[in-house]
Structures are given as C-alpha cells and as structure tokens.
Amino acid sequence: MTRDTLGRAAAVAREARAATDLHGVPLGTPIYAQDGILPVEHLVPGDRIITRDAGLVTLRALDACAAVVPRVQVSAGCFGRERPAGDLILPAAQRVLLSGATAQAMIGRSQGLVTLSCLVDGETVEALGTGPIRLFTLIFDRPHLIYADGLELASAAPAVEHA
C-alpha cells in the first residue's frame, strides 16, 4: 500500500465506524469551555473543554461529518431544567450520562451511560428514523464526558492510527 492508499483506507474505516458508532453534536450546540459556552463550530484544536470526569481537557481535533444514521430528538428540559435548553437532534447511538433517581429506575445504578435509542419514549425522546445529520465530533486523548447544551454526553474514542 502506498501512503495515499493508507490515508484513504483510514478515511473509509472512519466512515464505517461513523455509521454504527457516531458520537457528536449538531451545528450550534453550546459546548462548555474554559472561554465560556461556545457553539461547537467555534471550537478549535487547543481549546480547553470542561468535562465532568477530568475538569478542563485539551481538544485535540474537531471533526465535522455528514451521515445518514438513526436519529432521535431530545425535547427541551427532558433531563431537567434547561437540559437541553431547546429541542436537540442527535444520533441514536450517542451515549448520555444518567444519574440520580432516573438512572436508578432505568438501569438499577446511581449513574451510567445509556445510548439515546434506549431512552425513546415517544414523548421526551422521540425516534426520528434514519436520516441525514451533520455532526461535530470532539476528539480528545481519551474519551470524556462533555457538557453539550446542558447534557452530559460521551465523546468519541480517539481514532487508532496504524503505521
């Protein structure tokens, strides 16, 4: 394989992963960062992002992609006051942190990560079916829990690069 072929193979692998395990937030989603609450599209590598699990962490990359995947709509206030502040469309495979009584009732633990597709109830989390979505994926040295429009969302695992 040539260097160019390896690059295309990595891109195809990312696209295949994106179709099944897509994590990210749509254009305009407020992300909590050291410099304030910023729309995701205004972030750049090097920005310090506030995470639940590690405090401030450095953003390594911000990937934007368009995909056709199963989607859900999370209604404003679904997870508490202004969590999220407005209706938010996310990939059904996106994981969200549940805690407290909600987590205890749904997963039998005080907290845990759950894919949004498992929370579909037709009212506060509604399945939208498969369709197009443009997402921004925050990439760190390791996965973290980011604050996105008041929700605690799992970031994507860093891509593994092979020499």
Contact (Cβ atoms closer than 8 angstroms) between residue 118 and residue 53: no
Question: Is the model's pLDDT at 37 over the cut of 70?
Answer: yes
Distance of alpha carbon 151 from alpha carbon 83, whole angstroms = 6
Global pTM reads 0.82
Q: What is the pLDDT of residues 3-20, one digit of tens each?
A: 333 334 344 444 444 455
Residue 125, phi-psi category: left (phi > 0), alpha (psi -120 to 50), beta (remainder) = beta
Q: What is the pLDDT of residues 83-125, one digit of tens each?
A: 898 999 999 999 999 988 878 887 889 999 999 999 999 999 9
Beta-carbon count within 10 A of 151 CB: 23
Higher pLDDT, 13 or 126: 126
pLDDT for the residue 161:
53
Distance of alpha carbon 85 from alpha carbon 79, whole angstroms = 10
Q: Residue 42: which residues within 8 A CB-CB, separation 6 or more?
A: none
Higher pLDDT, 34 or 4: 34
Question: Is the model's pLDDT at 160 over the cut of 60?
Answer: no
